Amino acid sequence: MTFLAEIRFGPAGYPSAAKGRVSRVFSLLKEANLSALEYAAVYGLRMGPAKAEVIGHLAKESGISMSMHAAYYISLLSRQQEVRERSKGRLLKALQFAPMMHVKRIVFHPGGYSGLSQEEAYAVVRDSVEEVWEKGGHLGDGAILMVETAGKKGAFGSVDELIRLCQDVDGCLPVIDWAHLYARSMGRINDRESYLEIIGRFEDQLGNRFVDNMHFHVSGITYTKRGEKSHRPLDGEWGPDILPLVQIVKEVGYTPTFISETPNSLKGALYTKHLYEALE
């Protein structure tokens, strides 16, 4: 099974060597032969349309596939209604800016359960994402909302929750953060069998919508009994082991975008790319 899309590798956020210079960001990625970038709007979209257009132009000119990680402090499940409304507003703004920035995938976390049962939380998240999509889906010019697997057990973002949400809401697809699943499962999701199980569940339930838009986050990670603690490099000292995952991708012919969320995300992206190329 071979798909028409192209496998891509890239960092989360600007490489530190670019020193914040936008043009240098894209020249560094080209020099490294990387083809993806996840723009880190993790503290909000703090720019105007003019800067967004510059980023989009450089991305298109450089052949870089753009995604965006929306603000960390999005909380669709907050106890405070005004926080929920501001969170929906941030997703709407991301959709509005996506065409300017050449962004096709907007990654976000719905937030912690805030004392709600999982079923109550699901209904709130579903209704919120549905509302955002109905109001702003047309603004994104093909951009989709991508909900990420959560690393903390107290946060919305299990595999089952993501599958159900993406079945129920148009314009919503999953991001598999393999380090988060490793932490959430207390290290269980870390080998060929468990990777195949997870990918198979998404593919069986979401079909080609998932396969054609595979988006993976990779890094090392530490965890506690509550789940995720902190991201680490991909150097073998910390799990998960992503080699079996890369082997599966190669063998089946999947074409995901791999985004590195390691502390040095450029190095992590190159490490992942080199693993894949070594299999050739």
Question: Do residues 63 and 35 make contact, with C-beta atoms less than 8 angstroms apart?
Answer: yes
Mean pLDDT of 92-102: 97
Q: Tell me: the pLDDT tens digits for 133-192?
A: 999 999 999 999 999 999 999 999 999 999 999 999 999 999 999 999 999 999 999 999
pLDDT band at residue 1 using 50, 70 and 90 as cut-offs: very low
Looking at the structure of the chain, the number of domains it has is: 1
Instruction: Tell whether 105 is covered by a domain.
Output: yes
Q: Say if residue 237's pLDDT is above 90.
A: no
Mean pLDDT computed over 6-18: 95
Q: Is the pLDDT of residue 263 over 90?
A: yes
Q: Is 199's pLDDT higher than 80?
A: yes
Q: Which of the four pLDDT bands, split at 50, 70 and 90, describes residue 3?
A: very low
The predicted-structure confidence for 55-91, as pLDDT tens digits, reads as follows 999 999 999 999 999 998 999 999 999 999 999 999 9
CATH of the domain at 55: 3.20.20.150
Q: What is the pLDDT of residue 60?
A: 96
The domain of 36 spans 8-278
Banded model confidence at residue 104, pLDDT cuts 50, 70, 90 = very high
HEC string of the chain?
Answer: CCCCCCCEEEEECCCHHHCCCHHHHHHHHHHCCCCEEEEECCCCCCCCHHHHHHHHHHHHHHCCEEEEECCCCCCCCCCCHHHHHHHHHHHHHHHHHHHHHCEEEEEECCCECCCCCHHHHHHHHHHHHHHHHHHHHHHHCCCEEEEECCCECCECCCHHHHHHHHHHCCCEEEEEEHHHHHHHCCCCCCCHHHHHHHHHHHHHHHCHHHHCCCEEEECEEEEECCEEEEEECCCCCCCCCCHHHHHHHHHHCCCCEEEECCCCHHHHHHHHHHHHHHCC
Residue 7 has pLDDT above 80, yes or no: yes
The answer as to whether 140 is a domain residue is yes
pLDDT for the residue numbered 2: 33
User: Is the residue at 3 inside a domain?
Assistant: no
Instruction: Kindly tell me if the per-residue pLDDT of 235 is higher than 90.
Output: no
Q: Is the pLDDT of residue 4 over 60?
A: no
Average pLDDT over residues 267-276: 97
Least reliable range by pLDDT among 17-21, 54-58, 115-119, 136-140: 17-21
In percent, how much of the chain has pLDDT > 70? 99
Torsion, CA 10, CA 14, CA 16, CA 21, rounded to 10: 130
pLDDT above 90 covers a percentage of the chain that reads 92
